[in-house]
A and B are shown apart, each in its own frame.
Chain A
Amino acid sequence: MDISFEDLNELQLDALKEIGNIGAGNAATALSKMVDRKVAMDVPRVKILPLKDVPSWLGGAEKEVLGVYLTMTGQITGHIFFVIDLDNALNMTQILMGEMAPDREKLLNLDEIATSAMNEIDNILSSSYLSALADFTGLSLNHSVPAMAIDMAGAIVDLVFIEISQHGDYAFLIETDFVEEERSITGYFMLIPDSGSLEIILQSIGAA
């Protein structure tokens, strides 16, 4: 049997939400360590959305965003997308690098410093959510090298739609606000398991 996100009951959704909470918590802790200052987070907002509604949830198909894409391998397979809008990405590099942070122009053109800074952040955030998923389920998981792009939200996410439009039509989304002093960053994390993998996740947490 192949289950999809839209088939989940309340209990199963709560279990998945808990993974989102733990992942966001891990990410805030990792960011705090990295910048050596407190990074707090608000309670994440967790949603199941039809794929076609994802660009508007990200602020519109033409919204300038930074997207990081990785594939998940191991006992479950699938796709992971982390998206933040460009202004938030700039804030994030400023928190991380202070005066060394790249400006908007450099970030848009993915210059070397900007790329390495963002790669660092991507790695932290992706592994935070993935380790939450691995810890919570007891499954062993790996991920590919993250690939990054800065462009319109619709253009960046259509790649994943292409890949998964063969089976799933829904995505599991976690929206988290990270707060460092007066700066706030909203990050969108998307988990899109391949056919069959959602069932394995649910079985492993006893919610199948």
Chain B
Amino acid sequence: MGRRFTVGMAEYRMSDNPHDTLCIPGLGSCVGICLYDNKKKFAGLVHILLLQAIPGQKNIFKFADTAIPALLEKMFQAGAGKGEVLAKISGGARMFSGTNSLFDIGKRNVEAVKHTLRSVRVPLRGEDTGGNRGRTITFFVGEGNVEIRTIGGEVRVI
């Protein structure tokens, strides 16, 4: 029987049960990074808030540059194959219109996530980022697909 796990801000979750789903409801300017070993059908999802680790902060899963390598390492420890993991990412919306530079944090988060993925040599295989709508993302462990829902929009799958 599959379970539905919700991944909160600065949290991660892994699963190799093909009936499970990992999800983030109401994702705005944060980014959800779905890592997947297609051979082992092994999935990990992390929900980051910011680009770069701030010295003194304990939660490494809050930041793109520390969260991605940390999740990858945990997946390797749990049996994911090196060189087998690929990534799909979603989120990074601009939720408010206006001149406040904070409103562009979503775009900067997405850039930081892509940069980190390149540095750990994980290929990006799917992306639904930016725009001005919040998303609910559901990562299907058995298939490696990510379903994206928005208010009033069509369901997309990457």
Which residues of chain A have a CB within 8 Å of any CB of chain B?
51-52, 55, 60-62, 64, 69, 71, 108, 144-145, 147-149, 151-159, 161-163, 165-166
Q: List residues of chain B with CB within 8 A of the CB of A144.
A: 100
Residue in chain A with minimal CB distance to B96: A147
Given A108-B151, A162-B49, answer yes or no on A154-B28 (Cβ-Cβ < 8 Å): yes
CB of B78 closer than 8 Å to a CB of A: no
Task: State the CA gap A138–B81 with chains docked (Å).
Answer: 62
Interchain CB contact under 8 A, A165 and B62: yes
Given the complex, which residues of A lie within 8 Å of B124, measured CB to CB?
none
* Surface stretch bound by A, among B37-45, B110-118, B129-137: B129-137
Q: How far is the CB of A58 from chain B (nearest CB, A)?
A: 10
Asked if residues A151 and B8 are in contact (CB atoms below 8 Å), the reply is no
B80 close to chain A: CB less than 8 A: no
A159 near B105 (CB under 8 angstroms)? yes
A155 touches B27 (CB 8 A): yes
From B30, B103, B151, B152, A147 is in contact (CB under 8 Å) with B103
Q: What A residues does B136 contact at CB under 8 A?
A: 61-62, 152
Q: Tell me whether B134 and A154 are in contact (CB under 8 A).
A: yes
**In the bound complex, CA of A79 to CA of B152 (Å):** 29
CB neighbours of A159 from chain B (8 A): 28-29, 95-96, 102-103, 105
Query: Which residue of chain B is the closest to A109 with respect to CB atoms?
Result: B152
**Which chain B positions have C-beta within 8 A of A165?**
9-10, 49-50, 62
**Closest beta carbon of chain B to A150's beta carbon, Å:** 8
Q: In the complex where A149-B95, A151-B133, A165-B50 touch, is A158 in contact with B152 (Cβ < 8 A)?
A: no
Tell me if B25 and A152 are in contact (CB < 8 A).
yes
